[in-house]
Chain A
Amino acid sequence: MNENVVNPEIRNLKDFFYFIRKELRPKGKIFTPFNIISFPIILLGAALVIIRLLKGLGSVTNLSQEFPWGIWIGFDVMVGVAFAGGAYILTFVVYILRQEKYHPVVRATVLNGFLAYVFYAGAIFLDLGRWWNIVNPIIGNKFGVNSVLFLVSWHFLLYMISLFIEFSPTIAEWLGLKRIRRILTTLTIGAVIFGIALSTLHQSGLGALFLMAKDKIHPLWYTEFIPVLFFVSSVFAGLSMVIFEGTISHKVFSNQIDPEHHESFNQILIGLGKGCAGALFVYFFMKILILIHSKQWTLLATPMGTWYLIEVIGLVLLPCMLFFHGVRYQNLTVIKMAAIITMLGVIINRLNYSIIAYKWYVPLSQRYIPSWMEIVITLAIIFTEVWVFRWIVNRMPVLRESPEWVYEEKTLPKEIIIRKEVPKWKASVM
């Protein structure tokens, strides 16, 4: 696909539209198995979305007065945002700690994070009964400042902007806008710092939403530390997603990646695995502390207790040990397996808070089980996100090297530093 990559010379608006029109055309094969499966689902999902908008939530969902939040919140938003956590962690590692080793995966992760927020947090839009009022907390009709959800909604918006700024130099490189790219790169570090602060708060904020459901969430899961648990779990959720998504991307888009990065990628995976192992251990330790302090271990003997142990032992401790093993013996297969188990664990954990351990006392016959239409719409959202991701990766320098001119610009000030002829501020490339 590298041959398709063009280095556009955009001088005026006409060039710009010509370029965009050219890029909008599909690249690569159209009838791939993935397309054949995903396209009908996206179409069906779109039709169901229209029904939902015209006839109300009840027409496509199984939501009830007992269970007002279903998988669109419990899975799409809660899990989607946790998985998007990789963006704030990797930008922290690369831009704040300056671990250049992880630089090759930053762009894909930030893009993935941005799209996750747009699509999965966008699922909120479908879930809102009165979606036309979605701007109310932003425009001040009215500001419900005492609400955790107010904080989360503002943070979603601001964080999406931060992620877009972090990603924007890539778009500038794609369009060949040299001057604009230089300006956008200077914004990156600010966006990163702001983004990390926002992420800390809204990752934990999603957990804090459940604090007022004290009487409804099983005591093994309910603790005043839910926000901290959500934050820590977003670390390994995000990193596991980077391992998972990175592995797939490296297979699917392997022609975009130069051999040097192919090699370094394995080392990156091991590094990420190390991070996951640490975060999982911290999380496990916290879970144990909370359990001991709550003095509720007698509940472990109940059916919900078994379910709790499956989550904590099977989906937290087990992948934690697998990660340690994989890192110790440099075994990538084990690391990838552990990443998948971790992701499963995060899905189960978020569903527990929103659906499974939520009102655990309600008998199964009256419980919420998602309708096929809710699942189709969720799948359609995921597939659309993958389509957009693929479209961008095939066109912009996300996985492949930036165009030559980016390096040309950088070498100049670097040489000058060596000659020590210019004041330092000119050389500060962020």
Chain B
Amino acid sequence: MEINRRSFLKIFGIGMAGAFSGGLLLPKNSVGVTKNVEPEFYGILVDTTRCVGCRSCEAACAEANHLPIPDISDQSVFEKERKTSTTQWTVVNRYETEKGEVFVKRQCMHCNQPGCVAACLVKAMEKRKEGPVTWDTNCMGCRYCMPSCPFEIPKFEFQSANPKIQKCNMCWERLKKGEKPACVEACPEGALFFGLRREIIHEANRRIYQKPNDYFPHIYGEHEVGGTGYLYISKVPFEQIGFRTDLGTTPYPEFTKGFLYSVPLVLLLWPSFLIGVNALTKREEHKGGRIK
């Protein structure tokens, strides 16, 4: 094939377009997908052996985040397992286990490498340097964060014309002011322990080692889905108190990493290949075949 001015410009143009879009659509912070977030952010240890199910945390959370205040004297809520909702960012559930009643507070786990953050196409979900995973109003409401969350935490206001994603943000506003999250401050039993993630892992291990008979030897969230900001210790295995123990230790963003890495490659290699094939088949056109 002779390269002449027109075909040169054409190939050059397509090549540039490919290169440009390759650069544009390349997961620029590809590092962001892989980099191990240094666990020097805040987290909360939930010691389920200390929780008495008073639900003070629920009330404090609602008050701090301007949600409807629940009636915490109502014991009937324990009859069935509750999930967090658009109006309840945290809920306490009661489980009957082999070692008696266990109360478990549930809320966003604030993963080290959150699936919801990797899912969000406008970065409305963000992992803050202090530790919380927060939501912002530039959200499109696509709800991709919901299937991408291993704990099914983001809740969407389906009944609203101006819907928001509702979930615990670890009282990010309070953290910035140097205060502890509302639930931690409200807990009368010291079941919630707030600190740097490194510190609370030490604390959890200390409690388990000191009283090995009182604890199941596992910190839920230390390694699950690559580590979470909320950590749990318990006297019974975690599947008995409503936790999924089949989630693995791979951070969720890793699952889409391979695909995202292939994107710039495809965008550069595919067009060059197609241009080549197109050039090879060119002669036939002049021999026969009517052009339309």
User: A residues touching B (Cβ–Cβ < 8 Å)?
Assistant: 53-59, 61, 63-66, 68-69, 92, 95-98, 100, 103, 124, 127-131, 133-134, 136-137, 141-151, 153-155, 158, 189-190, 192-194, 196-197, 200-201, 204-205, 208-216, 224, 227, 358, 402, 410, 417, 423-425, 427-429
Q: Is B221 an interface residue (CB 8 A)?
A: no
Partner of A145 from the list B28, B284, B289 (CB cut-off 8 Å) is B28
Which residues from 1 to 24 on chain B have a C-beta closer than 8 Å to any C-beta of chain A? Answer: 2, 4-7, 10, 13-14, 17-18, 21, 24
Once A56-B158, A145-B29, A209-B144 are accepted as A-B contacts, the answer to whether A65 and B260 lie under 8 Å apart by CB is no
Contact status B139-A130, CB under 8 Å: yes
Q: For B83, what are the chain A residues with a Cβ–Cβ distance below 8 Å?
A: 65
Contact A193 B14 (CB under 8 A): yes
Query: Does B150 have its Cβ within 8 Å of any Cβ on chain A?
Result: yes
Inter-chain contact total with CB atoms closer than 8 Å: 209
Quick check: A193 and B161 within 8 Å, CB to CB?
no
Contacts of B278 in A (CB 8 A): 95-96, 189, 193
Most chain B CB atoms below 10 A, which of A136, A145, A358: A145
Checking B120, B161, B267 against A201 with a beta-carbon cut-off of 8 angstroms, the contacting residue is B267
Q: Can you list 6 pairs linking A and B with CB atoms under 8 Å apart? A: A143-B123, A148-B259, A151-B260, A192-B274, A193-B275, A208-B259
Known: A58-B158, A129-B163. A212 touches B115 (CB 8 A): yes
Q: Which of B90-98, B175-183, B202-210, B249-257 faces chain A?
A: B249-257
B-side residues, CB < 8 A to A, are 2, 4-7, 10, 13-14, 17-18, 21, 24-30, 32-33, 83, 85, 115, 117-123, 137-144, 146-148, 150, 152, 155-163, 244, 246-248, 252-253, 255-256, 258-260, 263, 266-267, 270-271, 274-275, 277-278, 281-282, 284-286, 289-292
Question: Are B147 and A65 within 8 A (Cβ)?
Answer: no
Which of B14, B29, B30, B246 makes the CB contact (< 8 A) with A190? B14
Task: Determine if B270 and A68 form an interchain contact, defined as CB atoms under 8 angstroms apart.
Answer: no
CA distance A424 to B30 in the complex (A): 45
- Known contacts being A146-B253, A190-B14, is A64 close to B274, with CB within 8 Å? no
Of listed A96, A129, A154, A402, residue having the most chain B CB within 10 A:
A129
Return chain B residues, CB-CB under 8 Å to A209. Answer: 144
Closest B-chain residue to A207, C-beta based? B259
